[in-house]
Chain A
Amino acid sequence: MSQPIIAIENASKSYRNGQQLALNDVSIQIEPATFVAVVGASGSGKTTLLKTMNRLADVDTGVVRVSGAAVNGVPGHELRRRVGYVFQGIGLFPHLTVAENIGITPRLLGWDAGQIVSRVEELADLVALPRSLLRRLPADLSGGQQQRVGVARALAAKPAILLMDEPFGALDPITRDALGTQVRNLHDAMELTTVMITHDVLEAVLLADRIVVMRAGRIIADGPPHTLLAGHPDEDVRALMEMPRRQAERVRAVLERNSRG
């Protein structure tokens, strides 16, 4: 087994002066090139766990290591330039063009202009964004196009790690499915390590190599999709993982009823 690229040991974190425990003694190791999906109810600590990986949040106790080094030894902004980050809010800079949005991290890193231009065009192609849109402002784009820009921006500085917090939550199902598949392909092509939070278990099952289930600040299940699908001692995990299959059965039942009728 190779050296983990992300390693969290006994991390705890609380908000509002200890009143709300977001992470409760969490440990997890993620190997390079793995696609991890984190699922769980709202408030279970998924987002906090993700944010500890690029220092958008700092743990109260415990250690977070990225590429072998403890993150609290690195200035947050430097770490974040090396880690791609996509979230449901997208947060494109409305006053910058699409190209400027995509190229922002390379620019902060001091790449030269020519390098940035060619990288931006390369990324537009990779996320299937028409190059004609590069000179537009974000407000001119559809929701799906905006999130493609969000993904391209996260990948611009060639990070080894891509963190995504419900990246496709606000998109229509068809766009969502297409973009999810494309991100998985990019993950493979660029040999990324990806951690994605999702509410959609089916999305997790279809895209991820490994699924982590959280509840009340703890990891209650962790394994490859097929293992978790086969059954789990915890009732909540079982209920969650049966969801795609139950839905598929209901779809089949609807179809059969109609074909008989």
Chain B
Amino acid sequence: MDDRFQAALRLLPDYLGQHVMLSAAALLLGLAVSAPLVVFARRSARVRWPVLALVSVVQTVPSLALLALFYPLLLALSSLSQKLFGHGFAALGFLPSLLALTLYSMLPIVRNSLTALLNMDPAVMEAARGVGMTPRQTLFRVELPLAMPVIMAGIRTSAVWVIGTATLSTPVGQTSLGNYIFSGLQIENWVSVLFGCVGAVALALIADQLLALVENGVAARRPMRVWLGLALLVAGVVAALVPSIHAKKSVYVIGAKSFSEQYILADLMADRIVRAGSSATQRVGLGSVIAFKALASNDIDAYVDYSGTVWANVLNRKDSPPRARMLEEMTRALKEKYGVTLLGALGFENAYALAMRGDDARSMNIRTIADLVAHAGELKLGTDFEFLARPEWAALRDSYGLAFREQRQYQSTFMYRAVASHEVDVISAFSSDGRIAAYDLAVLEDAKQVILPYDAIVLLAPRRANDETLRRALTPLVGAVPIGPMREANQMVDRDENKLSPAQAAQWLSGKAGLN
């Protein structure tokens, strides 16, 4: 059997269990919130309109954005509750995912239920009053039973949506079948991507069919089928949860953003912790901004960030001091403002750098960004999703006067492919990326030093500031990872043939750093 398939299979109990728990909780909560809303909205047109408008609007917000929006919201609420009641709550992971998915689940339930309840046969409704039913009896004995098939259809739609959308909860730190997809996409492990997709589809189909059994049992007045369907649903949820209940809770949580180098470094750190005699889990695929917030609020214990990112995005600094002074100032500012410990730099830099195909650079005689300016009007720029919104781009653009013919954004894996296949001509590459060499790209010199240094730095959460075990485990990494081995390790994971998993690459890197 394929290595990658076996690796994916090993992760299944954890991913599937979390996915099932999240989906089931969101669907149940969605039902619990929708039911009273429907009951009120049914009576009053004044309530009905805003309710329907709200659940519809939620649906138009891209699901990934909806999930991401809940994180800062919960973070604010958590710090408020910290102030008011003395304790906050975890704003990352389960809670934002649960709330976003709950909102997402409501439209089909609310709309189907209202449609069914508002379109009752007037003769039947008159008869219900005529035989002496109270409004409540009418609801439970007549309206709900008659509306049930349409309501159940809404619940089924909702279940399928929630199970599908739950794969998007990975970037806010909730483990799900989406972890296969997000990490697979980053390291071009298509087996993993496919595994995640097939898993989510299978789960959705099974849930849909079991709910169909319940629906069918209700419609045909066969209580046995209803109970069988419900029992199988409950059994499925319980079975999926058993592995996570038995799983030991790890001591440390290592975070990683969503690209290969981060996966490798997270594995490297986790491995150090295990060797130090403790245990670690990983929250991988975090959004770039979310990662730091998660650390500052103790949702994760450690991760690797890059000095320029922290300087510009977290500390909002516009100046660019020399490397040593920047690290020094950053160490102090992070401690003061966030209680975050900067343990040290790993020893390599992963800066944004403009890169182009080597043969183009040679034929156009472009060596520096200044050389590029004259040609930029004919060239297309490809970037990752962040670059154009970052201060580096503004600085580059303004100080060199860069204006490209066209700008396109890609998921970073596809960005490299896009330049190699001539879809774009210049990209916002990462200087430690193994693909620079693999695709024969030329990195253009930033003679004006507009782009900040991007030294990889290890950050520790406030609550781990004085944690001896963690410090002992991670301190040997400081200064131990030079750019050459990092690039090579990245390339091992990113290349198309003879790919290594991030964990394998981390092992190799660990050996290179003399830590084995």
Contacts and interface: CB of A to CB of B under 8 A. Distances in A.
A24 to B, nearest CB: 24
Nearest to B123: A89
Nearest to B126: A91
Interface in A65-110: 76-82, 85, 87, 89-95, 104-105, 108-109
B137 A108 contact: yes
Given A93-B142, A94-B146, A81 B122 contact: no
B123 A108 contact: no
Interface string A227-253: 000000000000000000000000000
A54 interface: yes
Interface string A188-226: 000000000000000000000000000000000000000
Contacts of A76: 129
B77 interface: no
Nearest to A75: B134
B322 interface: no
Contacts of A89: 122-123, 126-127
A104 B131 contact: yes
Contact of A91 (B123, B134, B146): B123
A105 B142 contact: no
B466 to A, nearest CB: 67
Contacts of B133: 77, 108
A91 B137 contact: no
Contacts of B319: none
A186 B125 CA distance: 27
B123 A56 contact: no
Contacts, number: 63
A254 B170 CA distance: 87
Contacts of A119: none
A87 B126 CA distance: 9
B132 A80 contact: yes
Interface string B102-131: 000000000000000000011111111111
A153 interface: yes
A154 B121 CA distance: 19
Interface string A36-78: 0000000000000000001010000000000000000000111
Contacts of B221: 95
Contacts of B121: 91, 94
Contacts of A105: 131-132
B129 A80 contact: yes
A76 B126 CA distance: 13
Interface in A141-165: 153-154
Nearest to A79: B132
Nearest to B145: A95
Contacts of A93: 124, 127-128, 141-142
Contacts of A77: 129, 132-134, 137
A85 B131 contact: yes
Contacts of A85: 130-131
Contacts of B142: 93, 95
A78 B129 CA distance: 10
A157 to B, nearest CB: 8
Contact of B127 (A78, A90, A95): A90
Contacts of B146: 94-95
A136 B126 CA distance: 22
Interface residues of B, number: 20
A80 B123 contact: no
B131 A80 contact: yes
B184 to A, nearest CB: 48
Contacts of B137: 77, 108
A64 to B, nearest CB: 17
Nearest to A156: B131
A90 B141 CA distance: 18
B329 to A, nearest CB: 73
Interface in B139-157: 141-142, 145-146
A77 B221 CA distance: 28
B167 to A, nearest CB: 38
A95 B131 CA distance: 16
A108 B142 CA distance: 13
Contacts of B125: 91
A153 B131 contact: yes
B376 to A, nearest CB: 71
Given A89-B122, A91-B124, A92-B127, A78 B132 contact: yes
A148 to B, nearest CB: 15
A104 B137 CA distance: 11
Contact of A54 (B124, B130, B141): B130
Contact of A108 (B122, B124, B131): B131
Contacts of A90: 123, 127
A87 B129 CA distance: 12
A78 B122 CA distance: 21
A105 to B, nearest CB: 5
Interface string B205-227: 00000000000000001000000
Nearest to A104: B131
User: Looking at B124, B131, B145, which has the most chain A CB atoms within 10 Å of its CB?
Assistant: B131
Nearest to B221: A95
A12 to B, nearest CB: 22
A91 B133 CA distance: 14
A233 B459 CA distance: 103
A91 B145 contact: no
B127 A91 contact: yes
Nearest to B127: A91
Contacts of B130: 54, 56, 80, 85, 87, 91, 154
A17 B357 CA distance: 79
A78 B128 CA distance: 13
Nearest to A153: B131
A89 B130 CA distance: 12
A253 B89 CA distance: 94
Contacts of B129: 56, 76-77, 80
A131 B54 CA distance: 51
Contacts of B141: 93
A64 B318 CA distance: 83
B398 to A, nearest CB: 68
Contacts of B128: 91, 93
Contacts of A87: 123, 126-127, 130
Contacts of A56: 126, 129-130
| 5 pairs of A and B residues whose beta carbons are closest in the complex | A91-B127, A89-B123, A81-B132, A85-B130, A91-B123
13 contacts: A56-B126, A56-B129, A56-B130, A77-B133, A77-B134, A80-B130, A80-B132, A87-B127, A90-B127, A91-B121, A92-B127, A94-B124, A105-B132
Given A79-B132, A81-B132, 6 more contacts: A77-B137, A80-B132, A89-B122, A93-B127, A93-B142, A94-B146
